[in-house]
């Protein structure tokens, strides 16, 4: 591209991992997003019920809070929003933006997230116990 100043360009294709928040999939969301250290040696979940750190102004108790490290703050995540893991870490995307930019990868191998959920179901008969 050196020397090319005008023309048509296509974005580079990258594969990301993502999970969509349904309002009921707390274990999946917490497994995917993990924890952060509130203080050294004190890990806390990154994905929490609304009202944990942020004031819940609306009547919608299905909203959640997500710590977005790239901007060092909590943001509100609504049902159907996506949490995306890419080279820049974790971020939240509204459904329209996500669907415009991504499509499912056709792969016969289950993801680590699916493997974990299947393991928990086989071992315990229930999904991981992370529901708030």
Query: In angstroms, rounded to a whole number, what is the distance separating the alpha carbons of residues 1 and 77?
Result: 39
Domain ranges of the chain: 17-124
| pLDDT per position as a tens digit, 39-94 | 899 898 889 888 777 766 666 667 888 888 888 888 889 999 999 998 888 999 99
> Is 130 within 8 Å of 30 (Cβ atoms)?
yes
Tokens of 122: 């086989």
Tokens of 6: 């005008």
Query: In angstroms, rounded to a whole number, what is the distance separating the alpha carbons of residues 48 and 128?
Result: 15
Query: In angstroms, rounded to a whole number, what is the distance separating the alpha carbons of residues 131 and 116?
Result: 16
| pLDDT per position as a tens digit, 3-22 | 666 777 677 678 889 999 99
């Amino acid at each position: 591209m050196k020397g090319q100043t005008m023309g048509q360009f296509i974005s580079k294709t990258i594969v990301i991992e993502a999970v969509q928040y349904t309002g009921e999939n707390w274990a999946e969301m917490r497994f995917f997003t993990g924890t952060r250290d509130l203080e050294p040696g004190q890990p806390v979940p990154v994905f929490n019920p609304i009202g944990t750190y942020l004031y819940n102004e609306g009547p919608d108790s299905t909203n959640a809070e997500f710590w977005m490290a790239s901007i060092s703050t909590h943001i509100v995540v609504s049902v159907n929003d996506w949490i995306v893991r890419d080279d820049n870490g974790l971020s939240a995307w509204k459904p329209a933006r996500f669907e415009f930019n991504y499509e499912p990868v056709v792969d016969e191998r289950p993801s680590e997230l699916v493997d974990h959920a299947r393991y928990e179901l086989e071992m315990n008969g229930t999904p991981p116990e992370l529901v708030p």
